Amino acid sequence: MLEIEGLTRRFGDTTAVDDVSFEVREGMLTGFVGGNGAGKTTTMRMVMGVLGIDAGEVRWAGRPVTPQDQRRFGYMPEERGLYPKQRVLDQLVYLARLRGMADASAREAAERHLERFGLADRATERLQALSLGNQQRVQIVAALLHGPTALVLDEPFSGLDPVAVDAMADVLREHAAAGVPVLFSSHQLDLVERLCDRLVILAAGRVVAVGDADELRARGPLRYRVVLDADTGWLRDVRGVHVVDVDGPTALVEVVDDGAEQVVLREAAARGTVREFTPVRPALADIYREVAAR
């Protein structure tokens, strides 16, 4: 398990990361979300040891992380950082060898991964000849080649087409299933919601929420969709609920006072047939907006 404990980093007067703590557990995909400048990249850089820490600690397998541990992690930095003029396969083999792989197994792993990401026929081209999306795929391969013990990926899905997004998602799931802790940042909340076992939401350098998608949704407002035979305008006069939307026989109400939904249901039944009365779970994007704005 990767443990981030009280990490803090300042740049001049700005505290970019402020006492951030969370865990990236084995077998789980942990999504790291937060608005621009929230501190995700700075946190990931500290986890990887490429940026100094002002306070706090990164722990791996129950003890302070070492550079040797970090060398075995798979990292996809925000700045990417492959060599534009070097040929794809040569570059991947070179990077894998830096991480301790023998030449033959590095080459075999690189070819296998390139095939997986649909790049087998581009292996001998220079990186700069590839589209940005394909360069991104190569970057992903570079992070995966050496059989990483943990994955720390900064926006791995950005710029990928839907086919590559699926390939990437499969690869992350496979690594998680094999027991590798996976942390990735993303602005694509729908994707995060679909993929992640756990989410860490950062705002202005601080962790504002941690949990699985259901736990986070449960923190959101409790809403009910009400569909009757007749107009639902009367709901505006029911105490303890806030009417979010009314459209003829259909309404969306938010429960403000505990148990007020029972009043709504009773009153609705007293007025005729209740066609629908269902709780509406907020989308992760709504929860995100709420916690990030606090």
Ligand X SMILES: Nc1ncnc2c1ncn2[C@@H]1O[C@H](COP(=O)(O)OP(=O)(O)OP(=O)(O)O)[C@@H](O)[C@H]1O
By C-alpha distance, which of 156, 267, 186, 202 is closest to 7?
Answer: 202
| By CB under 6 A, residue 186 contacts ligand X | no
* Distance in Å, CB of 185 to ligand X, minimum: 7
Q: Which is nearer to ligand X, 92 or 205 (CB)?
A: 205
Task: Calculate the alpha carbon distances from 291 to 49, 204, 286 in Å.
Answer: 29, 11, 9
| By CB under 6 A, residue 39 contacts ligand X | yes
* Distance in Å, CB of 203 to ligand X, minimum: 9
| By CB under 6 A, residue 40 contacts ligand X | yes
Q: Which is nearer to ligand X, 40 or 198 (CB)?
A: 40
* Distance in Å, CB of 46 to ligand X, minimum: 10
* Distance in Å, CB of 262 to ligand X, minimum: 43
* Distance in Å, CB of 63 to ligand X, minimum: 26
Of the residues 36, 79, 121, 270, which one makes contact with ligand X according to CB under 6 A? 36
Residues 139, 168, 78, 48, Cα dihedral to 10°: -90
Q: Which is nearer to ligand X, 41 or 91 (CB)?
A: 41
| By CB under 6 A, residue 38 contacts ligand X | yes
Burial of 125 (0-12, 13-18, 19+ CB in 10 A): middle
By C-alpha distance, which of 16, 26, 147, 136 is closest to 76?
Answer: 136
| By CB under 6 A, residue 70 contacts ligand X | no
By C-alpha distance, which of 152, 192, 150, 187 is closest to 169?
Answer: 192
Task: Calculate the alpha carbon distances from 275 to 200, 224, 229, 270 in Å.
Answer: 38, 13, 7, 13
What is the C-alpha to C-alpha distance for residues 272 and 293, in angstroms, rounded to an integer?
A: 41
One character per residue 3-22, x = contact with ligand X (rule: CB under 6 A) = --------x--x-x------
* Distance in Å, CB of 36 to ligand X, minimum: 3
In terms of DSSP bridges, do strands 2-11 and 198-203 run parallel, antiparallel, or are they unpaired? unpaired
Of the residues 6, 37, 84, 100, which one makes contact with ligand X according to CB under 6 A? 37
| By CB under 6 A, residue 144 contacts ligand X | no
Residues in Cβ contact with 90 at an 8 Å cutoff, skipping those fewer than 6 apart: none
Q: Which is nearer to ligand X, 34 or 156 (CB)?
A: 34
Helices within 27-121 (DSSP H only): 40-48, 67-72, 88-98, 103-116
Task: Please identify, among the stretches 34-42, 69-77, 108-116, 246-254, the one whose residues bind ligand X according to the rule CB under 6 A.
Answer: 34-42
Q: Which is nearer to ligand X, 20 or 268 (CB)?
A: 20
In terms of DSSP bridges, do strands 74-76 and 206-211 run parallel, antiparallel, or are they unpaired? unpaired
Q: Which is nearer to ligand X, 204 or 283 (CB)?
A: 204
| By CB under 6 A, residue 213 contacts ligand X | no
**b/e for 265-284, b at 16 or more Cβ within 10 A?**
eeebeeeeeeeebeeeebeb
Residue 133, both tokens: 């999306």
Q: Which is nearer to ligand X, 11 or 83 (CB)?
A: 11
Site residues for ligand X per CB under 6 A: 11, 14, 16, 34, 36-42
